[in-house]
């Protein structure tokens, strides 16, 4: 033990490093989310009180789990629920927990798959993951999701009640269940990333802290559960996040990928993304996140916009669309084809999507169409498409960008002879 190092700052660092693993293990031991959270906090209060005098234990995580479990059992007794939790108290007051990295990591996996269980609505999965896996307070989750704290708190409480009442198992899915369950977990992580990378509302397009939490989750999952799509998701997020400082100018105005100053792209993140992608591509079959990461890699490795390999990107979008034939992927595929072949060919593909009401209510569909019409020289139709996109956009930087594009287009129309 080291008494000199047991400062509040050092203990706070231990909390950041170990709290999620300790919580995951306490949930397994106590079989109750709320009780485990209370026990975790009480264990760290005890650490703040005892460690400065006694020193930090050789295995602080094991000490915190043991202390938290004892506090949890004491709470159970006070609530007179001994019978329901009798299996926790077979050894009496002296609770001894042997902890090593394997069961702690297993607890993290259990917690992640429980937070992302398909029996919960998607909004609850995202909020619960941010609260339990990322350790954000309810207020921080609410700010991240641009919602009221009371709404988020109610959603989290309902999710925990659903887990308890429905008997949702606190476990990692069996080997035969994993292919069905893993996509839900990856989807939640990517939703967390996207909410940070491209805010659905507000004055800014980026919330770096939320992006960081999503990347941390993916890296933790990759270490605990080696799988091609986990690697692919980590690669995709690193490659996209590498462009963070180039996506808005000093005035907060949006900058398109084509116009970004690539000197501002973070090369360390690009290298990390390419490393994760190489690991993903070694495994088969190649799945959607790995394909998206491969597309991002083409942009990341092009020295300038003109050198972008649109032929390969279009082929990758073809493969991605076969696996996930969604309207958004079809839209991106049309843009890639336009850049490879011609604006007219891209517009032809976009016209095929216009029968979908979902697409017609998507501002980026009209923005993409406006840009291709502009490139094709049909400025009047482009003006109408920009106006439609402006009527649908929510994010303020995007609204200003579209308004600027429309203004430039109208200046061109006015200056025509």
Rounded Cα gap, residues 334 and 104, in angstroms: 46
- The structure's pTM equals 0.76
For the chain, give every domain's residue range. Answer: 8-99, 309-417
Residue 381 and residue 373 in contact, taking contact as beta carbons nearer than 8 Å: yes
Phi-psi region of 198 (alpha: psi -120 to 50; beta: other; left: phi over 0): beta
CA dihedral 47, 50, 54, 56 (to 10 degrees): 10
H or E segment to which residue 127 belongs: helix 122-128
- The overall longest dimension of the chain from CA atoms, in Å, is 92
Rounded Cα gap, residues 225 and 102, in angstroms: 12
Per-residue pLDDT of the chain (417 residues), as tens digits, is: 554 456 777 888 888 778 888 888 888 888 888 888 889 889 889 888 888 888 888 888 889 999 999 988 888 877 755 445 445 444 444 334 444 343 445 677 888 889 999 999 988 998 998 888 878 788 888 877 768 889 999 999 999 999 988 888 888 787 778 778 888 889 888 888 887 776 544 455 556 677 888 898 899 888 878 889 999 999 999 999 999 999 988 888 899 999 999 999 999 999 999 999 999 999 878 899 999 999 999 999 999 999 999 999 999 999 999 999 988 899 999 999 999 999 999 999 999 998 888 889 999 999 999 999 999 999 999 999 999 999 999 888 899 999 999 999 999 988 876
Q: To 10 degrees, what angle do helices 33-54 and 8-30 make?
A: 140
Fold agreement between 8-99 and 309-417: no
Look at residues 115, 11, 14, 29 and name the one whose alpha carbon lies nearest to residue 69.
29
Q: What is the chain's Cα-based Rg?
A: 25
Rounded Cα gap, residues 267 and 303, in angstroms: 12
Please tell me the CATH superfamily of domain 309-417, with its number.
Answer: Tetratricopeptide repeat domain (1.25.40.10)
Look at residues 284, 195, 183 and name the one whose alpha carbon lies nearest to residue 237.
195
Selecting from 1.25.40, 1.10.1740, 2.60.40, 1.10.472, what CATH number does the domain 8-99 have?
1.10.1740
Residue 270 and residue 238 in contact, taking contact as beta carbons nearer than 8 Å: yes
Phi-psi region of 202 (alpha: psi -120 to 50; beta: other; left: phi over 0): left
Which of 31-59 are b and which e, b meaning 16 or more Cβ less than 10 Å from the residue's Cβ?
Answer: bbbebbbbbbebbbebbeeebbeeebbee
Rounded Cα gap, residues 247 and 265, in angstroms: 10
């Amino acid at each position: 033990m080291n008494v000199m190092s047991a400062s509040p700052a050092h203990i706070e660092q231990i909390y950041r490093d170990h709290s999620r693993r300790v919580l995951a293990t306490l949930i397994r031991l106590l079989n109750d989310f709320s009780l485990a959270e209370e026990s975790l906090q009480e264990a760290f209060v005890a650490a703040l009180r005892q460690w400065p005098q006694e020193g930090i234990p050789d295995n602080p995580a094991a000490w915190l789990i043991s202390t938290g479990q004892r506090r949890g059992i004491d709470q159970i007794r006070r609530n007179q629920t001994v019978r329901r939790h009798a299996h926790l108290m077979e050894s009496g007051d002296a609770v001894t927990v042997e902890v090593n990295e394997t069961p702690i990591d297993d607890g993290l996996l259990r917690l992640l798959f429980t937070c992302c269980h398909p029996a919960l609505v998607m909004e609850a999965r995202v909020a619960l993951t941010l609260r339990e896996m990322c350790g954000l307070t309810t207020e921080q989750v609410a700010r991240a999701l641009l919602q009221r704290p009371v709404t988020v708190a109610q959603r989290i409480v309902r999710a925990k009640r659903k887990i308890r009442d429905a008997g949702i198992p606190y476990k990692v899915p069996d080997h035969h269940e994993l292919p069905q369950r893993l996509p839900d977990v990856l989807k939640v992580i990517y939703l967390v990333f996207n909410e940070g990378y491209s805010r659905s509302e507000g004055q800014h397009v980026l919330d770096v802290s939320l992006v960081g939490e999503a990347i941390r989750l993916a890296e933790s999952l990759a270490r605990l559960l080696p799988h091609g799509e986990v690697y692919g998701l980590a690669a995709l997020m690193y490659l996209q996040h590498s462009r963070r400082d180039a996506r808005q100018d000093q005035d907060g105005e949006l900058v398109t990928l084509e116009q970004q100053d690539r000197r501002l792209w973070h090369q360390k993140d690009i290298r990390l993304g390419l490393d994760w992608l190489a690991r993903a591509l070694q495994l088969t079959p190649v799945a959607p996140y790995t394909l998206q990461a491969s597309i991002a890699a083409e942009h990341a490795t092009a020295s300038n916009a003109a050198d972008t390999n649109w032929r390969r990107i279009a082929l990758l979008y073809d493969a991605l669309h076969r696996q996930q034939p969604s309207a958004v992927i079809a839209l991106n595929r049309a843009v890639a084809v336009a850049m490879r072949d011609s604006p007219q060919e891209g517009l032809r593909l976009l016209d095929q999507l216009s029968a979908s009401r979902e697409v017609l209510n998507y501002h980026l569909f009209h923005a993409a169409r406006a840009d291709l019409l502009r490139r094709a020289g049909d400025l009047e139709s482009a003006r109408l498409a920009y106006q439609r996109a402006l009527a649908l956009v929510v994010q303020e930087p995007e609204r200003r960008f579209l308004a600027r594009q429309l203004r430039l287009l109208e200046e061109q129309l006015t200056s025509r002879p």
